């Protein structure tokens, strides 16, 4: 595990963007796993700048998003589909056909989950998975649980997550109760994983994830077992870490 403690959010974002840029430049037809949330926004901005300045092209890049709310139409302002197009894809030279986001509107969710896994397999797996972390230690929408979930699956969101994400929806009851997420197995199978966390609110989850017991009660703790994990945190998110 490599831990990078950035001075602040700007530096964290640039370090994360550089890591993505390095792999995009070094491998043809690279496959990226991408997160939503406020944390990766700075990284997406930096990657957009690199693309606009002609330093980086996404033409041959394939992407798989981690998760999507269930029952929100793509065009809903809170769908992760909208998030990705508004904050990243619309501003870069990516091929739409190469972008993948779970379909939260699928009539047969189980089939959609299987198909998502098949699509990942068909392109040879994910080279670099970028993750954020929930306050409760969730990754994607893999919530604290008594077991580690395997492949892409449907989840019931925890009250804690619904509350945390209600800031985007205006009220608690507008937040979907279910979502589709890549599972812990799907994440652990990625060749490299990079997790980002910023701010005091994430310090406890980061400490437990990196220095606590490996338990499905704190889903991100499983990343301690990944053979190529990079953690990029700012000073505040790193503040409770003993080993740094």
**Does 102 participate in binding ligand GLP (rule CB under 6 A)?**
no
Residue 60 vs 216, nearer CB to ligand GLP? 216
The CB-of-74 to ligand GLP minimum distance in angstroms stands at 17
Three-class SS state of 241: coil
Are 62 and 32 in contact, with CB atoms under 8 Å apart? yes
Contact with ligand GLP (CB under 6 A): which of 66, 109, 120, 223? 66
The CA-based diameter of the chain, rounded to the nearest angstrom, is 47
**Does 39 participate in binding ligand GLP (rule CB under 6 A)?**
yes
Active site residue 138: yes
Q: Between the CA of residue 227 and those of 30, 33, 53, 192, what are the distances in Å? A: 19, 17, 34, 8
The CB-of-228 to ligand GLP minimum distance in angstroms stands at 19
Using CB under 6 A, which of the segments 4-12, 36-44, 90-98, 211-219 binds ligand GLP? 36-44
Beta 153-156 vs 178-181: how paired, if at all? antiparallel
C-alpha span between 170 and 190 (Å, rounded): 35
Contact with ligand GLP (CB under 6 A): which of 65, 99, 161, 189? 161
**Does 140 participate in binding ligand GLP (rule CB under 6 A)?**
yes
DSSP state, residue 207: H
Using CB under 6 A, which of the segments 17-25, 33-41, 94-102, 113-121 binds ligand GLP? 33-41
Q: In DSSP terms, which residues pair with 230 in a beta bridge?
A: 2, 194
Three-class SS state of 198: coil
Active site residue 87: no
Three-class SS state of 128: strand
Contact with ligand GLP (CB under 6 A): which of 33, 102, 104, 132? 132
Contacting residues toward ligand GLP, per CB under 6 A: 35-39, 66-67, 132-134, 140-141, 161, 165
Q: Report, as residue numbers or ranges, the catalytic residues.
A: 67, 136, 138, 143
């Amino acid at each position: 595990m490599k831990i990078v403690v950035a001075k602040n959010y700007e530096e964290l974002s640039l370090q994360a963007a550089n890591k993505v840029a390095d792999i995009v430049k070094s491998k043809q037809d690279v496959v990226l796993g991408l997160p939503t949330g406020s944390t990766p926004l700075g990284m997406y901005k930096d990657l957009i700048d690199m693309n606009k300045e002609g330093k980086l092209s996404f033409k041959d890049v394939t992407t798989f998003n981690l998760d999507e709310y269930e029952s929100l139409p793509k065009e809903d302002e809170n769908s992760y589909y909208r998030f990705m197009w508004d904050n990243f894809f619309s501003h870069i030279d990516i091929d739409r056909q190469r972008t993948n986001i779970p379909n939260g509107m699928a009539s047969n969710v189980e089939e959609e989950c299987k198909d998502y896994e098949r699509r990942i397999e068909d392109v040879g797996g994910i080279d670099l998975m970028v993750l954020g972390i929930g306050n409760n230690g969730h990754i994607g929408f893999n919530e604290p649980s008594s077991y580690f979930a395997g492949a892409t699956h449907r989840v019931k969101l925890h009250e804690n997550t619904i509350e945390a994400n209600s800031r985007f929806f205006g009220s608690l009851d507008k937040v979907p109760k279910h979502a589709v997420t890549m599972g812990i197995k799907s994440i652990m199978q990625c060749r490299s994983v990079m997790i980002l966390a910023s701010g005091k609110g994430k310090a406890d989850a980061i400490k437990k994830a990196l220095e606590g017991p490996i338990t499905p009660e704190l889903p991100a703790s499983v990343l301690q077992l990944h053979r190529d994990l990079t953690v990029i945190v700012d000073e505040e998110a790193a503040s409770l870490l003993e080993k740094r």
